[in-house]
Amino acid sequence: MSSDSESDAPFNVSETLIPFRDIKPVDNSSVSFDGILDNPLVLKEDLKDGCGGQLWPAGMVLAKYLLRRHHSDFSGKTIVELGAGGGLVGLAVARGCTVGPSPIYITDQQPMLPLMETNIELNDLSSTVAAAVLDWGAPLPDCIPAHPAIILAADCVYFEPAFPLLITTLKDLLGPESVCYFCFKRRRRADLRFIKMAKKAFDIEEVHDDPDVDIYRRENLFLYAIRSKSCKRDSRERD
């Protein structure tokens, strides 16, 4: 039988199963992505409520890629970030890409909500970005747009028991015209299980149009575009 502390852990799985990561002190970081942002983001980092409370490599890679390659592509599109932690990727897109009129939804579990809201306020982006609670595997909250055009996910592959829950949420979100930009750092052999699961459920293509791809792949960082299999099927039918 699980103890009370275990039953309160994310996904009702003991926190002892989560790989240990060094705890950084609470601090604010300024991030410009090597000068791409003229007005850098200010992000509070705080790990007291979960490992998503600090900046991780895949988030930096994904945000920089989107700012370089998709800075003018997202106008008029609905955007949802999964496992946002402090909201790095969604906030970077809001600051450096052409977006709107719909808000960008940055989402995570309830313990991350105050940090997401703090970072929205620190960057004066409350008119562009909204924070929401979204638990993987659970029904989508009413505020989240059905089948958003763009889904963002960085550093979401680190906790193996959550893999099927993440797959379920991606199935719920991905519509025929949706694309998920998904970046992760492979830390363990088990992380490859997620990609194998995802390839069975979705159409997955590795992103190659990033000038930094060879650099971060040497650090076991990978960036993918994930689409519904029905998207490819519908395309063949139109042809």
In a domain, 51, yes or no: yes
Q: Give the range of the structural domain holding residue 102, as residue numbers without chain letter.
A: 28-227
149 has binding-site annotation: no
Q: Are strands 129-133 and 202-206 parallel, antiparallel or unpaired?
A: unpaired
pLDDT of residue 218: 93
- Out of 52-61, 104-113, 153-162, 209-218, which region has the weakest mean confidence (pLDDT)? 52-61
Cα torsion 88, 89, 95, 100 to 10°: value is -130
Distance, CA of 5 to CA of 2 (rounded, Å): 8
Mean pLDDT, rounded, of the chain:
86
Average pLDDT over residues 77-105: 97
Per-residue model confidence (pLDDT) at position 222: 96
136 labeled binding residue = yes
Domain contains 64: yes
154 is in an annotated binding site: yes
**121 falls within a domain:** yes
Question: Is 136 among the domain residues?
Answer: yes
CATH of the domain at 162: 3.40.50.150
Burial class (CB in 10 A: 0-12, 13-18, 19+), 34: exposed
Q: 67 in a domain, yes or no?
A: yes
- Annotation-wise, does 92 bind a ligand? no
Residue 212 annotated as lining a ligand binding site: no
90 is in an annotated binding site: no
So what's the pLDDT on residue 24? 60
* Lookup result for tokens 């890409």: 97
Q: Do the domain assignments include residue 12?
A: no
Dist CA 173 CA 151 (whole Å) = 8
52 is in an annotated binding site: no
Q: What is the mean pLDDT of residues 125-140?
A: 97
Residue 188: per-residue pLDDT: 81
Within-domain flag for 118: yes
pLDDT in tens, 174-195: 999 999 999 999 888 778 889 9
Domain count for the chain: 1
Residue 118: pLDDT band (50, 70, 90) is very high
Q: Residue 99: inside a domain, yes or no?
A: yes
Question: Taking 60 as the threshold, does the pLDDT of residue 104 lie above it?
Answer: yes
First to last CA, the chain: 56
